[in-house]
Amino acid sequence: MAAEPKARSAMAARRIESRKSDIVIFPSMKQPRAARAGIAISLHNSALCAMFAFPEYRRNRPMPARSTLRDRRRQQTAREIQSAMLRLAVRDGYGAVTTEMIATEAGISPRTFFNYYPNKEAALVGKSPEIGPDITESFRQGTGPLIKALFEALDRHLRDSYLNRDTIRMIDTLLERSPELVPQFYASLQTLTAQLAELIGQRQRAIGHHDAELLADMTTHALANAIRSWAQSETMPETDIASHARIQVERIGAIISDRQNENA
């Protein structure tokens, strides 16, 4: 059983290696190209994982209407465990952290910890990022422009994700120090890309599977860039994240369109 996570991590690492040419590299980074590729995907992962796996519920902000009191309590405990894991990993190094340490830091018993997560790896990554059924059904049934509807759906999801700048910054710090954690995050985030690709294909059946995957991948990258811009800014409102991501995707579309016109 202990070898299983290592095997999965190794497989994910090979997938990352094979796709490095598709990874967005942030121009400001000064590392050699190979190092920048790993860090870039780490930062991409950190932004989206902070969005889905480590939500921080704000005071005076309502929970989603369908959430029960029991759900809210479980979500709160799960967030506290995840936050404890992050603090310890940043402070002591990921390898030094044990489940007993996480439980103590979170103020719970080890037994309670295992009611939420099977191990520290799961506590670090959190739940798989998925968009809720109300949003996905509304997106499927819509008839307007695809890109507009796609980012409206993501904006609704963001509003339920309760982003926290400090959380994103902590994950950035951790992944920069421990790039070996990248495969764990990457495997989880593929869930979001796969869900978006499926939704795009269901709404626009004329779009082929591979084109839907490409658009979904581009969308998650643009969303991650926008979330990171928000986390690094003290003034950018959270409500601007989805629109910033949409602008990036539309800009790429305009560049492609210009190239096609040049070759016509």
Q: Per-residue pLDDT for 196 more than 90?
A: yes
Among 109, 106, 53, CA closest to 81:
106
Angle at 263 between CA 257 and CA 264, to 5 degrees: 85
Q: What is the pTM of this model?
A: 0.69
Check: CB of residue 125 under 8 Å from CB of residue 188.
yes
Mean pLDDT for the chain overall: 78
Residue 228 and residue 47 in contact, taking contact as beta carbons nearer than 8 Å:
yes
Q: What is the pLDDT of residue 125?
A: 80
Distances (CA, A) of 175 to 30, 40, 168: 17, 10, 11
Summarize pLDDT for 33-55 with one digit per residue, the tens. 444 444 444 455 555 655 554 44
**Is 50 exceeded by the pLDDT of residue 215?**
yes
Q: Which residues contact 199 (CB under 8 A, 6 or more apart)?
A: 131, 136, 139, 140, 153
Q: What does the pLDDT average to over 248-255?
A: 91
pLDDT digits (tens, 9 = 90+) for 138-194: 999 988 999 999 999 999 998 877 677 887 888 888 989 999 998 887 777 788 899
- pLDDT at position 127 is 67
Of 4, 2, 12, 47, give the one whose Cα is nearest residue 181.
Answer: 12
| Chosen CATH of 127-163+178-264 out of 3.30.960, 3.30.1050, 1.10.3720, 1.10.357 | 1.10.357
